[in-house]
Chain A
């Protein structure tokens, strides 16, 4: 059944290619949605397969590991692929309703699916250098998407995004090269076996290189400055895709290398990750409170909540890692919903500057509800998915005696609630300011994907058990890499 493992790669690649080859806009629109649905189905099938038969591995080109490139799907990879399929479907639906002819003509659907191709490749690969290549695939697609349409704000944001991405790519490349020099291996399972023979000091230095390289991609403290400078620039159908997926690839890479390879000195490396998590949480939340523009505010919220995912990685207990995984999955859905919603609000009022918005509660009470569902989920209130994610992390932190980070996590939950309340008050509660657009355009089908994501976060909150137990399975696999190594190399540690 090796084809099931490569299906999440083949579906977006085929869709992207067909969108490039077929000239008609209608064909591209149909393909865009069909490809996203196909990816979702492939993700479901892969997860079911992993659930039934354990970790799946396939040797691309039939070159045996550790010489060839391996693709591996454990619970973590399969879950990430699945949720990226969910985000893809929502964004595709939004793009269909948005009907942005100029950007569709420039290849929006092709680029979007090539981006998904890169993202899923990064989730599934079992080879460190191959991970670098997937990063570049998704980066190149995201560069073009970032400036697609070529507005001034997009170009200015694109330059910053491009510059920072180049830097992190080189750091990643250097880190991979040095690790190869020290161990002679690139296959992650093989690396996990070989790092024992490397001097621990050298290994710690290498792990720091990886922390910086992936930290730049994941936008954690102190490397998050670029994200709020670039993510608000492109339109919602692009920024939601970025917000939902791209930083999570960085987080995934961090979780992968810091559970599989760099576990020699957790007292140093993982404590450092905890500090990074704490500062990311706190600074992101505080900066979000200082923003007067909705999409910049959401960008800082995005940064802040990356800290929660790192927090679980830093604590490194089964419960904490399960919390991290659950948080990442939940956050992909919630933040994509909020960025899409920002697109809706911009359409209604012609701006996302909070002072110039307002008075939407009267004409659109249901839109307020639609905002509150993901907004409160982000803040971690029950009965939404964000509550269980935070609850798991806080419980794990208390178990492990990490009271400092727990305090920060709870405080940031409060700050997030404050920030969401502020947005609610500004956008929905307060009276429309003078000169605000009075006769808003229709929303049409744009509401559907936001509604779907909002209902999904509520549904996960009400029935948290399945996703939570899957996250726990993922955490178990991460903490006992023997299964992963066995699946890839066919030998046990």
Chain B
């Protein structure tokens, strides 16, 4: 089972990285979500599957058998919530960026005229406005 999940994590990570490398920012965001799922599954697997490591021991020493380790689940839950908040913010941010900049192509945003590097002092005085 661990092997299977390891491959799944690897596959998800590959898909996520591929999407994050695409120029379109929505693809980037989807890639982030997929990669986030890969990370969550990874934590889940790293925390040992099944209930062979009982986390709760009663004061008498008796082991509470059918319980799995809750900590990875708590971590994943936190990570999911945070990823959710980041994704929600990202959608709003990209929407606004689309409206203001007219594009969601990462390469075009880099070359947007009014955010490009200002001319160096040795250059000719520019005629166009670069003022922020």
Contacts and interface: CB of A to CB of B under 8 A. Distances in A.
Q: Indicate whether A and B are direct neighbours in the complex (CB within 8 Å).
A: yes
Contact of B115 (A136, A157, A292): A157
A303 to B, nearest CB: 15
A147 B100 CA distance: 12
A45 interface: no
Contacts of A167: 20, 32
A169 B86 contact: yes
B39 A174 contact: yes
Interface in B96-132: 96-97, 100-101, 106, 109-110, 112, 114-115, 117-121, 123, 125-126, 130-132
A140 B78 contact: no
A387 B75 CA distance: 44
Contact of A152 (B39, B45, B115): B115
A290 B100 contact: no
Given A136-B86, A177-B75, A353 B118 contact: yes
A277 B107 CA distance: 29
B97 A159 contact: yes
B43 A293 contact: no
B120 A290 contact: yes
Contacts of B39: 170, 173-174, 177
A180 B43 contact: yes
A233 interface: yes
A179 to B, nearest CB: 9
A156 B34 CA distance: 24
Nearest to B29: A166
Contacts of B78: 129, 133
Nearest to B116: A156
Contacts of B86: 136, 139-140, 166, 169
Interface residues of A, number: 53
B64 interface: no
Given A152-B100, A152-B114, A353-B130, A147 B93 contact: yes
B25 interface: yes
A353 B118 CA distance: 7
A173 B32 CA distance: 13
Contact of B46 (A152, A160, A180): A180
A355 interface: yes
B112 A350 contact: no
B68 interface: no
Interface in A284-321: 290-293, 296
Nearest to A422: B121
Interface in A172-187: 173-174, 176-178, 180-182, 186
Interface string A261-294: 0000000000000000000000000000011110
A229 B25 CA distance: 17
Contacts of A56: none
Of the candidates B82, B85, B89, the one having the most CB atoms from chain A within 10 angstroms of its own CB is B82
Contact of B96 (A139, A150, A296, A352): A150
Nearest to A433: B125
A356 interface: yes
Given A166-B90, A170-B35, A292-B121, A177 B43 contact: yes
Contacts of B120: 290-292
B114 A181 contact: no
Contacts of A136: 82, 85-86
A158 B101 CA distance: 12
B97 A153 contact: no
Contacts of A129: 75, 78
A155 B132 contact: no
B127 to A, nearest CB: 11
Of the candidates B93, B109, B131, the one having the most CB atoms from chain A within 10 angstroms of its own CB is B93
B42 interface: yes
A355 B114 contact: no
A293 B117 CA distance: 8
B96 A155 contact: yes
B107 to A, nearest CB: 12
A143 interface: yes
B102 to A, nearest CB: 10
A429 interface: no
Contact of B100 (A150, A177, A296): A150
A155 B43 CA distance: 33
Nearest to B102: A152
B114 to A, nearest CB: 6
Interface string A129-163: 10011001001100110010011110111111011
B6 to A, nearest CB: 11
Interface string A174-212: 101110111000100000000000000000000000000
A163 to B, nearest CB: 6
A284 B48 CA distance: 43
Contacts of A151: 132
A296 B79 CA distance: 34
Contact of A155 (B36, B97, B123, B130): B97
Contacts of A74: none
Given A173-B43, A353-B131, A355-B119, 13 more contacts: A132-B79, A143-B89, A143-B93, A155-B93, A158-B97, A159-B97, A173-B39, A174-B39, A177-B39, A178-B42, A291-B120, A292-B120, A296-B118
19 contacts: A133-B82, A156-B101, A157-B115, A159-B25, A159-B109, A160-B109, A162-B93, A170-B36, A177-B46, A180-B43, A180-B46, A229-B110, A232-B132, A291-B117, A293-B117, A350-B131, A351-B131, A353-B131, A354-B121
Query: 5 closest pairs, A vs B, by CB?
Result: A181-B46, A293-B118, A177-B43, A292-B120, A156-B115
